[in-house]
Amino acid sequence: MSLDERLLRVARTWGHGPRAERVVAGFSRLGEHAGVWLAIGAAGYALDGAKRPQWRRATGTVAGVYALNTLVKLAVRRRRPELPGLRWSTEDQWHVTLVFLGEVAEADVGPLGQAVRDAASGLDAGLTAELGPATRRLGRAVLCLPVAGLDEAAAAVRDRTAAVVADPDPRPFAGHLTLARARGGRPVPGPLVGRPCRAAWTVEALTLVRSETGPEGAAYESLVTAPLGR
């Protein structure tokens, strides 16, 4: 790995969170930044007569730096290193899957909703979920935080829903909250793994959710919400 790629990887994975990265990425798509600053300078020069010399000097500096930057790029012709992108999950996508039911016929949605209600009614209303203690990989391409304390809830939902649909995922329950997925089958960058993060919350309800996968990840629709202990 080249030095500039190593530096880019550090810049992309340290010192900021998913929200800040999305804001900066959106700003980068706005267009030609030098052109924006030149337009601001020209407007200031035209409208602010008292500070016209300062506006002229500042605008000339921006134009000179932009020209120098362009000349360096033309002379060096070094391609900017690229990192495998991460698709970060948004807050409205955060959830902990207790049982993945796969494709479900519309006729089974009602019975599944009742199964979730039955499972929730038998659980302690003070059930606590614990997040952390640090980020980890799930497989190669998923960055997540482990979630403990939901094994009983997962077992209850699995038992109740098994009478309606066959369980398509026989693997043992491993509670987690997905933070990001690496694009292109690449692994999650190492510096993102092992970041400390702890939290805890009281689980108030179980929800039967329908998911639709799109270009920006899954969109979720809540079908049934069942309070615990009722």
Over the stretch 31-78, which tens digit does the pLDDT of each residue have? 456 777 888 989 999 999 899 999 999 999 988 888 887 787 778 776
Domain ranges across the chain: 3-76, 86-227
Model pTM score: 0.62
- DSSP states of 105-156: -GGGHHHHHHHHHHHHHTS-TT-EEEE-SB-EEETTTEEEEEEES-HHHHHH
Distance CA 60, CA 57 (A): 5
- Provide the angle, in degrees to the nearest 10, between the axes of the packed helices 109-121 and 151-161: 140
pLDDT of 164 above 60: yes
Helices (H), the chain: 3-13, 18-28, 33-47, 52-76, 109-121, 151-161
pLDDT tens per residue, range 131-154:
999 999 999 889 999 999 999 999
Predicted confidence at residue 62, as pLDDT, reads 84
Summary mean pLDDT of the chain: 84
pLDDT of 186 above 80: no
Predicted confidence at residue 117, as pLDDT, reads 96
- Do 182 and 141 contact (CB within 8 A), yes or no? yes
Predicted confidence at residue 140, as pLDDT, reads 87
Class level of CATH domain 86-227? alpha beta
Distance CA 229, CA 127 (A): 10
* Helix H or strand E encompassing 182: strand 176-182
